[in-house]
Structure 1
Amino acid sequence: MAAPGSRTAGWSRRFCTAAAPRPWRLFGAMCLLRLPRITQPLEKEEEEMAALMGQIELEKSHYSDHEIRRLEEEEQLRRRKESMYDDDEAPGKTVIMAQDLEDKWEQKLLQFKAAPRITDADKNNNRTSLNRKLDSNLMLLVKQKLGNQELWLLPQVEWQPGETLRSTAERAMATFLGDHIQAKILGNAPYGIYKYKFPRAIRTEDNVGAKVFFFKAFLQSSDFSQAELKEDYLWVTKDELGDYLKSEYLKKVNRFLLDL
């Protein structure tokens, strides 16, 4: 059995450890992604494979209801011509043939015009617009002041007592986009962490550096008519991140990014 004095000393050590200030400041950051709106263009090999699979599917397919109807109508017309008389039909009844439907569909197809894959924002290289790079993921970057520097970062704020790290990251997103923006947050655990030390001039034993915990979310509402971002912001692809993020920060971010 431990002596009373040693037990008291153990409790004292534990109490001092719990009450000691944290040497690392904690931050929550949100990786907010706008998912692709259109598919990426097919490569030459992919187009050839798609054409081959389409041909195989056509050869092995059965007639659709519309095709069966058209064949039946063609047979009825042939019999009428051979017998030189019409079947009894209700007077004044309008008959819409399968061929009539196909002609109507053909006219609609001729009038259809696909939206361009390259938008005005692409042409002007407007990286503040969500209406660009429609076939790729876009990530939100904001310019924040750290010390005496202004850096491009994922939206981040410092953790406050009583918060979970996820709620800190949510607050970071709301700080820049407002509460009315809808986003689906993925999980309760961070996807990555970035740790750095403060410059020696301001570093102390109780203030060594910062740890940034990254969370991910998918943007579900892109209506920014009411949103007034408080800082400079950009929507960039994974390949464009190197133009803005520092190399060590970029390495940590690239570890949990997939641009499929």
Structure 2
Amino acid sequence: MRKLQEEEQLRRRKENIYDDDDERPGKTVIMAQDLEEKWEQKFLQFEAAPRVTDADKANTLTSLDRRLDSSLLLLVKQKVGKQELWLLPQAEWQPGETLRSTAERAMGTVLGEHIQAKVLGNAPHGIYKYKFPRAIRTEDNVGAKVFFFKAFLQSSDLSQAELKEDYLWVAKDELGGYLKSEYLKKVNQFLLDL
């Protein structure tokens, strides 16, 4: 719009059909065309920062400064029965809690109180059901359900984080090296490649 207005002003000046308000003595006029050329020069001098970081080179999976072209997921090592498994953060539901508040509590126990994450929505994005080993099954308690919620980390500065467990930040294509196959299938159903 500005460029069109300035072209109209130039046309009117050439034809001597301009208002006194258009030209004030001592006023510097910067045309949109001049700005575009200046911006083009700045753009040509711009050099993007490298996407491969020191954390990528050292393969530091506990750093968020890696795989800058991918979304990273938080995995924590949790004891399930006698096994230690890599899982998405999870916690047992407490009576009176909503599923969302359970998810927020699970993240709080892993990230601590200084780091905030924003949970998306009140409904889970996925579910994983499994049966307990026969030795620990009861008539009332045959298995469990794990509800998955998506959340975005609102701060990438983890210097104040009180990560209490073993943790990793991994991209979707790296999940196969850490998650069991059935669990991975359920997680892949609700994860998008962004």
Q: 1:141 aligns with which of 51, 60, 75?
A: 75
1:36-84, Cα deviation, whole Å (9 max, x unpaired): xxxxxxxxxxxxxxxxxxxxxxxxxx99359849x95xx98xxxxxxxx
Q: Percent identical across equivalent pairs?
A: 77
Instruction: Tell whether the 8 Å contact from 2:110 to 2:163 is kept in structure 1 after alignment.
Output: yes
CA drift of 1:210 comes to 1.8
Aligned equivalent of 2:64: 130
How far apart, CA to CA, are the structure 1 residues paired with 2:5 and 2:167? 52
CA drift of 1:211 comes to 1.5
Secondary structure at the aligned position of 1:242 is classed as helix
Return closer, same or farther for 1:255/1:108 CA change in 2, 3 Å cut-off: closer
Aligned residues: 183
Return closer, same or farther for 1:103/1:189 CA change in 2, 3 Å cut-off: closer
Amino acid at match of 1:248: E
How far apart, CA to CA, are the structure 1 residues paired with 2:116 and 2:137? 39
Q: Are 2:168 and 1:234 equivalent residues in the alignment?
A: yes
CA drift of 1:104 comes to 5.4
Instruction: Tell whether the 8 Å contact from 2:115 to 2:160 is kept in structure 1 after alignment.
Output: no
Structure with more contact order per residue of length (Cα contacts < 8 Å, sep ≥ 6): 1
Return closer, same or farther for 1:247/1:105 CA change in 2, 3 Å cut-off: closer
Q: Runs of 5+ in structure 1 lacking a partner?
A: 1-61, 77-88
How far apart, CA to CA, are the structure 2 residues paired with 1:258 and 1:192? 12
Q: Are 2:145 and 1:206 equivalent residues in the alignment?
A: no
Secondary structure at the aligned position of 2:160 is classed as coil
Aligned equivalent of 2:117: 183
Instruction: Tell whether the 8 Å contact from 2:130 to 2:145 is kept in structure 1 after alignment.
Output: yes
Aligned equivalent of 2:3: 64
TM-score, scaled relative to structure 2: 0.79
Return closer, same or farther for 1:205/1:183 CA change in 2, 3 Å cut-off: same
Aligned equivalent of 1:33: none
Secondary structure at the aligned position of 1:168 is classed as helix
CA drift of 1:105 comes to 4.7
Q: 2:182 aligns with which of 219, 240, 248?
A: 248
CA drift of 1:179 comes to 2.7
Alpha-carbon RMSD across the aligned residues, in angstroms, is 2.9
How far apart, CA to CA, are the structure 1 residues paired with 2:99 and 2:34? 63
Q: Are 2:153 and 1:219 equivalent residues in the alignment?
A: yes
Return closer, same or farther for 1:209/1:95 CA change in 2, 3 Å cut-off: closer
